[in-house]
Structure 1
Amino acid sequence: MTSDGTEGGTGGAGTGALSPQDEAVLAVERRSWPRPGAKERVIRERLGISPTRYYQLLNALLDDPRALAHDPVTVNRLRRVREARRSRR
């Protein structure tokens, strides 16, 4: 929860820079993970949210132009992965 009582995340769409939580979500996605469960543990411990909430925030970030401007390599890679998964369904 942020100091203004909101949950943070992509709630500030269209208001300039990404929130610290949004930047942290993208930072987690930039890393590679050595073993199963390591990423989920980091999500819970460092971000203080559930993995389900994390993936909801991440999916919204992939459609946010501010996220693309902040980290184009990661966002474009994740967009390609998302589209490949959608096309298999």
Structure 2
Amino acid sequence: MNKNTKRRILSCLNTFVLFVVFVAIATPAFADFQSSIESILDAIKAVSVPIAIILLIFAGWQRMMGNNQIFIAALIGTIIVFGAPLIVDLISSVF
């Protein structure tokens, strides 16, 4: 292929991609995207606290049984899961 043919193909491809983007933005499916994201974030917040409490109980049980490696892993998991709602709030406030 020579240069002109490659340029024409790239030009057609760019035009097609722009057309697809405009059609995707114009469809009604993307109209309610913001509220669906907010409902997903609320679900993450609602689920993360009970999981963190269960992980904390599991970490204490593993420490009591003398299994230090799983205790540390469960403790780190608890910290991450307790921090998940704060991370979700931070990310949603940035965007």
Query: TM-score, length-normalised on structure 2?
Result: 0.25
Which is helix-richer, 1 or 2?
A: 2
User: Which structure's CA Rg is the greater one?
Assistant: 2
Query: TM-score, length-normalised on structure 1?
Result: 0.27
